[in-house]
Amino acid sequence: MARPDKGALLGIGLVLLAFTILPVLDGIAKLMGERFHPLHLTWGRYAFNMLVLIPIVLPRFGWRVLTPPRFWLQVVRGACLLAATLLFFTALMHLTMAETLALAFVYPLIVTLIAPALLGEQLSGAKILAALIGLGGALLIIRPGAAVFQPASLLAFSTAFVFSVYIILTRKLAGLAPHLQSLFFCALVGAVLMTPIAPFVWQPLGWLDWLGFAAIGTIAAVGHLLLLRAYEQAPASVLAPLGYFEIVSTVALGWLLFGDLPDAWTWAGILVIVGSGVFVTLWTSERASRVATQAGQPAGS
């Protein structure tokens, strides 16, 4: 029996750790959302995220970290991530953590449907069907027309669409700048855009509030640094399906903090979304592996 690859095991461990701590960010944001406007929370997330990353990126890149290749496209990419965060935080104030994240996790299916037009990727009938089934899973959670329908569900669903554009732009910019530089630049764009807006919704902060903002920014930085490190250790085909572990940890944290557990319809929607997303991920990875093999290249290289 072949011994497990140590790099792959490390990558898997780092991904699982990242998706264990990132929901803590959402939990803190939801708790703080009882007092603070989502615009205020979003400012804190990016301002402190940027501050945490500065001592990491400046020694490595110097001031050129401020001028990544395709500068304006990088700005648009950062603005898309900012908009997705704002939509997510706003939805989080009205929905459970599990509902909000599950609806946002429709984004891989949306990327599957729009990538052919924007990136020229091939789209098979099986992937179209899986994506449409996954979007049907989102409807099980939203349940438009039902008595339990909440308009905030549409905000969480919109998060997926905006985040899909961010993912598409990330693919277009792939290889042009180091991942760490791109991570910092997104934080910088968010902080710069939100700082002029924050005073209009500003609430007085006590030391515990400052600590909460610092925790949100720090967790965001640490979580994404863990993911960057993980993808340096193991191929995306191994790690990508593990992203859905975040839903598991989010459900657990939502129950611990707020006593929230998804109802039967929401569980059904989550299972459909996860199943469809995993299928699309594995199908894409298998196709990429086949093409690489036919081209005489090792998969994941």
Q: Give me 104's structure tokens.
A: 């946002």
Distance CA 252, CA 130 (A): 27
pLDDT grade for 280, boundaries at 50, 70 and 90: confident
Spatial distance between the Cα atoms of 262 and 103, rounded to a whole number of angstroms: 13
* pLDDT over 50 at 301, yes or no: no
- Nearest Cα to 46, choosing from 195, 241, 262, 206? 195
Average pLDDT over residues 193-209: 95
Write down the pLDDT at residue 163: 93
Q: What span, in angstroms and rounded, lies between the C-alpha atoms of 297 and 7?
A: 19
The tens digit of pLDDT for each residue in 91-131 reads: 999 999 999 999 998 988 888 888 777 767 676 777 788 88
Cα dist from 201 to 27, 165, 195, whole Å: 21, 28, 11
What local confidence, expressed as pLDDT, does residue 291 receive?
A: 35
Question: What local confidence, expressed as pLDDT, does residue 47 receive?
Answer: 96
Q: What is the mean pLDDT of the chain?
A: 86
Please state, in angstroms and rounded to a whole number, the distance separating the CA atoms of residues 48 and 23.
17
Per-residue pLDDT tens digits for 42-69: 999 999 999 999 999 999 999 999 999 9
Element of type H or E holding 289: helix 264-294
How far apart (Å, rounded) are the C-alpha atoms in residues 265 and 82? Answer: 30
Paired tokens of 158? 């919109």
Residue 94 CA to residue 136 CA, distance in Å, equals 22
Q: Are 124 and 284 in contact (CB under 8 A)?
A: no
Residue 271 confidence (pLDDT) above 60:
yes
